[in-house]
Amino acid sequence: MDDLLSEFLTETNENLSVLDVELVRLEQNPNNPELLSNIFRLVHTIKGTCGFLGLPRLEHVAHAAENVLGKFRDGELAVSPGAVSSILESLDVIKGILAALEQTEAEPAGDDSALIARLNAIAEGKDVAAPGKAPAPPAVAAEPEPAPAPAVAEAKTPAPVVKAPPPPAVAEVAQTKELVVQEAAPEPPAPIAPPPPVHAAAPMGGDADLNKESAVAAQTIRVNVDLLENLMTMVSELVLTRNQLLQILRSQKESEFAAPLQRLNHVTSELQEGVMKTRMQPIGNAWAKLPRLIRDLSHELGKKIDLQMLGADTELDRQVLELIKDPLTHMVRNSADHGLETPVERLRAGKPETGRVTLNAYHEGGHIIIEISDDGRGLNIERIRQKAIQNGLATEAELAQMSDQQIAQYIMRPGFSTAQQVTSVSGRGVGMDVVKTNIEKIGGTIEMKSQTGRGSSFIIKIPLTLAIVSALIVECAAERFAIPQISVIELVRAASDSEHTIEHINGTPVLRLRNRLLPLVSLQKLLRLGDAQEQSETFIVVTQVGTYTFGIIVDRVFDTEEIVVKPVAPILRHIEMFSGNTILGDGSVIMILDPNGIASASGEMMVSETAQSRETAVAQTTNRDDRMALLLFRAGGEAPKAVPLSLVARLEDIDLATVEISNGQPVVQYRGKLMPLVPIDAGWELRREGRQPVLVFADGDRSMGLIVDEIVDIVEDRMSVELAHERPGLMGSAIIAGKATEVIDAGFFLTQAYKDWFGSAKIEGFDEERQNRVLLVDDSPFFRNLLTPLLSVAGYSVTTVESPEIALELREQGEMFDVIVSDIEMPGMSGFEFAQAVRRDPRWQDVPLVALSSHASQRDLDRGRQAGFTDYVAKFDRDALLSALSQTLVEAKGAAA
Amino acid sequence: MSTNLPATTKARTDVAIATGNDDFVTMTIADQLFGIPVLQVQDVLGNQKITRIPLAPPEVAGSLNLRGRIVTAIDVRLRLGLPARDRDKPVMSIVVDHRGELYSLMVDSVGEVLSLSSDKYERNPATMDPRWRDLSNGIYRLDETLLVVLEVSKLLNFANLEAA
């Protein structure tokens, strides 16, 4: 491309982005003569250069715009939104022509006569309300209401090319990996000059207005971005070489190189810093388009929007800047379109008429934080929920278990737009997912907070620069790899002798980490690094990609190192596992692993798995809530046994020498009372010495000790009794912690100790005449079995049914109960529906209803109350259940009395 | 992109028009003499420490550090469909620049630079192994042996290989 032309394009693009901002300011501030003359000068420069380069179409448009501006400046015309709209539109046309110029080096064909005619008409004062008033009255001009309708409406039609950023520049930035040596077209915002008008040294020179600022202009020079990139690469090399030299120096005791190397060290550090600075640009450059965008939006949507930009001078690497520009624009647009309400709605909600969108950027520990917040209506959780169900992203049951924050995360999913109508502004279904991907691509994260009625905010965290990252060096099959530190959460050592061991599910490795199962990926398998050798210990790099956390199995972990990321050779780009390569301090080349690539490689496997086992997954979701704490122990026989921990009062270790025999039964003095001891294994023989673990069950002032051989563990697991047992004392068998485990029936042993155990509660007596009748509705046989003894012990007469439908049949049969305890998650009719059904019919209308659920958050509570539940209890909280029952009964009786 | 276009076009015209002499760096692989236009050669290396690249095509031996630049090593033997070299045999490499990236071509040994006159040039015989024919630009008749001219851009064109 012709040098002169490319110079012109760069400069004009810069001028145009300044103009966008300035014009909006002018509209709000029509009487600022300096602003006006600045705008006039910029447009004049564009026009002048066009004429100079022989670009007639551009020249005519610019000329017409300049005419209007000239009238503004001379005070012959008042600044009006209509006129400003027309000028902005002419800028769009200019941008369109420029974009075409950049591609074809020739002006595209096109007809701007309509626009020019309108501009001329405005210049002649035809389209303006008060043409006569010479010094523009601020009251009229500052009115930000949409301009006379025709001007705006027409404005849409004659400008088919509105896309502003020149495509080549964008394309080049998109391929960040290819920045090495390209003779690229100059990119629009030159890195050095700050956006305000500095480049006054236009080819035409001369004008008196211009000289004022030329002194500032002399302070900066325009440098090709490629040159800077090269410089950066060279400095990176220098840094690496310096590191190598320092490493050598460290191994030598006395060296005459020590002093000069020290100096080299300092100089290199400073040089690196300096070069990094040249790449830094204020984030305000990425925001330059936003005031214009917001202005157009407010006109189009009929909203009043105030855009606040804080920390615009926060600097970050230009490469990063280019990459976040579009996501930012998108999010601001979203905030203004979806987030903010119309003035009427705002007034109704008691908020100021003008909505506010705030952008805030600041540094925080090696990262840049950008917050985009609005004071609008917040995310509509209900609509997101509906949409998620509609799109099949989640089932209603799953959503019911999620917090609002979790539900809100769905807007980051592909193809998710909650806008009820697709406006021209946003809501086309390409949205936050793209934003999220783009931000994650540069190693950033995005967080979201939303308060209904108060607004929402998005917090983006991105690294300062992409060039140098901190990376963890790991080894696998004798090969070293680097993992970017930002995605590493923690390191776990897994060995047979440590508390963490890798377990396998059908060959898939997993790790238990703080009560969660962490999926693992073997780097060795993933990278096909030959056969696995037996390792006595391995390390697990816990990695997070978005919300997906997984562990990467490696053989060894070294320390972290600052590395310069270099793109891999083009012939290797198709390998998704690597984001680049680098040279370490010792001079060796090392590949940088891409956590995103690894996640998607392992994620794909997961997708296919889910597809296969969807049915099991559904079954699991219903049962997933049945997780409970279980005490595992051994007693007679090899198979481990289990009892729900909530039933056990204490674990004791009894000295067998203290055991006495009373009434043919072993007893022990325990807390000043006699406690009968019951062996699980009938063949158990009392020894006279040693110690014996005992599970103590207590109720009121009675307690009973269940003799076991060994207490193994306490686990939290899903428990579904799979095999029922004929043997008394055993409820059945279940798989717990991966092993077939016998679940004991605590109730059986209690009656062994005291024949009247279940009757005993009468003594505590809620009601001496009759026991309170409880109807227990739960689909899980295990829970029915578990709760029946529990409630019986507490003195209730318990009737259990396995589904709400059967419970309602009992109602038809005329049964009456004092209280109904119901599960929430049940196949068929849910607990909520059951509650509604109970409340609808007069017969059971006044029976208190207690909900049992594994979720007892405030929201569940509210939902339960709405459905008609009297109380809401967490499933495994036996004390809470008992107190809720007695409380409910007391209240119900009080009400009846 | 445009930076290297001249280089490749020039190489091609050198062979095609072939007036006067062309200079080639010679090398041997499995006793066969090969040549690469001298202007494309950046460096000749002895044995180097090479980092393996998992999941890469088998012809890619790995990457190495050449004065702070990362160079991708290509095993020309495997590229030509020849059996892999014995582990204990020495390796030499010729570093070439291709579209701004450096590649190190691993060969058995590197010889001298020959200036060859165009009247000794011949097109690839039609009966030559198609794989070799794809990678070669022609043959020079030397006194005692034949020299196969390798075309670097084709040698590094893995995309085609995968497509085929």
> Do the first three CATH levels of A283-463 and A766-896 match, i.e. the same topology?
no
CB contact under 8 A, B1 and A182: yes
CB contact under 8 A, B70 and A587: no
- pLDDT given for residue A474 in this prediction: 92
B98 Cα to chain A: minimum distance (Å) = 10
DSSP A109: P
The answer, yes or no, to whether residue A66 has pLDDT greater than 70, is yes
Q: Tell me which range, A692-696, A745-749, A804-808, B72-76, is most confidently predicted by mean pLDDT.
A: B72-76
The answer, yes or no, to whether residue B143 has pLDDT greater than 90, is no
Residue A183 contacts B, CB cutoff 8 Å: yes
The answer, yes or no, to whether residue B98 has pLDDT greater than 60, is yes
pLDDT band of A723, cuts 50, 70, 90: low
The answer, yes or no, to whether residue A655 has pLDDT greater than 60, is yes
- pLDDT given for residue A755 in this prediction: 60
CA distance A832 to A226: 65
The answer, yes or no, to whether residue A109 has pLDDT greater than 50, is yes
- pLDDT given for residue A690 in this prediction: 77
Q: Give tens-digit pLDDT for A439-480.
A: 877 767 788 888 888 888 888 888 766 666 788 999 988 889
- pLDDT given for residue A5 in this prediction: 75
A529 Cα to chain B: minimum distance (Å) = 7
CA distance A429 to A412: 11
| Residues across chain B | 164
CA distance A117 to A660: 112
Chain centroid offset of residue A248 CA: 45
> Domain-by-domain residue ranges, chain B?
5-154
CB contact under 8 A, B55 and A527: yes
Architecture field, domain A475-612? Beta Barrel (2.40)
Pair of tokens at residue A742: 């016998």
CA distance B45 to B105: 10
CB contact under 8 A, A575 and B53: yes
Residue A531 contacts B, CB cutoff 8 Å: no
CA distance A460 to B6: 44
CA distance A50 to A62: 9
The answer, yes or no, to whether residue A753 has pLDDT greater than 80, is no
**CA distances from residue B74 to A49, A119, A346, A567 in whole angstroms, order as listed:** 52, 64, 66, 17
The answer, yes or no, to whether residue B86 has pLDDT greater than 70, is yes
Environment class of A16 (CB within 10 Å of its CB; exposed 0-12, middle 13-18, buried 19+): buried
The answer, yes or no, to whether residue A369 has pLDDT greater than 80, is yes
CA-based R_g, chain B, Å: 15
The dihedral of CA A126, A129, A132, A133: what is its sign?
Answer: negative
CB contact under 8 A, A581 and B70: yes
Q: Give tens-digit pLDDT for A797-833.
A: 788 888 888 888 888 888 888 888 888 877 778 888 8
CB contact under 8 A, A575 and B72: no
Residue A232 contacts B, CB cutoff 8 Å: no
The answer, yes or no, to whether residue A205 has pLDDT greater than 60, is no
Query: Which residue does chain B place closest to A591, by CA atoms?
Result: B53
CA distance A375 to A295: 17
A510 Cα to chain B: minimum distance (Å) = 24
Query: Which residue does chain A place closest to B102, by CA atoms?
Result: A569
Amino acid at A759: G
- pLDDT given for residue A219 in this prediction: 66
Work out the average pLDDT over A374-399.
Answer: 79
Do A65 and A132 contact (CB within 8 A), yes or no? no
pLDDT band of A283, cuts 50, 70, 90: confident
Least confident of A293-297, A619-623, A772-776, B104-108: A619-623
Return the higher-pLDDT residue of A866 and A182. Answer: A866
pLDDT band of A146, cuts 50, 70, 90: very low
User: Does the interface ipTM go beyond 0.85?
Assistant: no
Work out the average pLDDT over A730-738.
Answer: 73
The answer, yes or no, to whether residue A210 has pLDDT greater than 50, is no
The answer, yes or no, to whether residue A203 has pLDDT greater than 80, is no
pLDDT band of A431, cuts 50, 70, 90: low
A183, A241, A569 ranked by CB distance to B101: nearest = A569
The answer, yes or no, to whether residue A88 has pLDDT greater than 80, is yes
pLDDT band of A656, cuts 50, 70, 90: confident
Q: What is the CATH number of domain A626-753?
A: 2.40.50.180
- pLDDT given for residue A817 in this prediction: 84
A237 Cα to chain B: minimum distance (Å) = 6
Q: What is the mean pLDDT of chain B?
A: 80
CB atoms within 10 A of CB A723: 12
CB contact under 8 A, A589 and B101: no
Q: Which CATH class is domain A766-896?
A: alpha beta
- Beta strand extents in A585-701 (DSSP E only): 589-593, 627-634, 641-644, 650-655, 660-662, 665-670, 673-679, 691-699
Return the higher-pLDDT residue of A140 and A660. Answer: A660
Q: Give tens-digit pLDDT for A547-569.
A: 678 899 998 898 888 777 777 88
Architecture field, domain A225-281? Orthogonal Bundle (1.10)
> pLDDT over 70 for what percent of chain A?
74
Work out the average pLDDT over A192-201.
Answer: 40
- pLDDT given for residue B103 in this prediction: 92
Residue A180 contacts B, CB cutoff 8 Å: yes
- pLDDT given for residue A162 in this prediction: 37
Residue A489 contacts B, CB cutoff 8 Å: no
- pLDDT given for residue B18 in this prediction: 45
- pLDDT given for residue A606 in this prediction: 40
A275 Cα to chain B: minimum distance (Å) = 18
> pLDDT over 90 for what percent of chain A?
2
B3, B68, B159 ranked by CB distance to A183: nearest = B3
> Phi/psi at A659 (nearest 5 deg)?
-75, 130
The dihedral of CA A688, A689, A695, A697: what is its sign?
Answer: positive
Q: What is the CATH number of domain B5-154?
A: 2.40.50.180
| Residues A311, A314, A318: CA angle, nearest 5 degrees | 135
CA distance A73 to A54: 27
Amino acid at A228: L
How many helices (H) and strands (E) in chain B?
Answer: 5, 11
The answer, yes or no, to whether residue A857 has pLDDT greater than 60, is yes
Write out the DSSP string of A365-381: TTEEEEEEEE-S----H
Work out the average pLDDT over B1-28.
Answer: 57
SS3 content of chain B, % helix, strand, coil (to 5): 25, 45, 35
CB atoms within 10 A of CB A627: 16
> Domain-by-domain residue ranges, chain A?
3-168, 225-281, 283-463, 475-612, 626-753, 766-896
The answer, yes or no, to whether residue B104 has pLDDT greater than 80, is yes
pLDDT band of A77, cuts 50, 70, 90: confident
- pLDDT given for residue A854 in this prediction: 66
Q: Which residue has the tokens 């995360």?
A: A409
Q: Please, where are the H alpha helices in B5-147?
A: 5-17, 76-79, 130-135
Chain A partners within 8 Å of B51 (Cβ) = 479-480, 588-591
Q: What fold characterizes domain A283-463?
A: Heat Shock Protein 90 (3.30.565)
Residue A408 contacts B, CB cutoff 8 Å: no
Least confident of A226-230, A473-477, A766-770, A776-780: A766-770
Chain centroid offset of residue A309 CA: 24
Return the higher-pLDDT residue of B61 and A239. Answer: B61
Pair of tokens at residue A4: 């002169």
Work out the average pLDDT over A286-290.
Answer: 83
- pLDDT given for residue B35 in this prediction: 92
CA distance A47 to A16: 12
* Domain A3-168 grouped into CATH 1.20.120.160: yes
pLDDT band of B33, cuts 50, 70, 90: very high
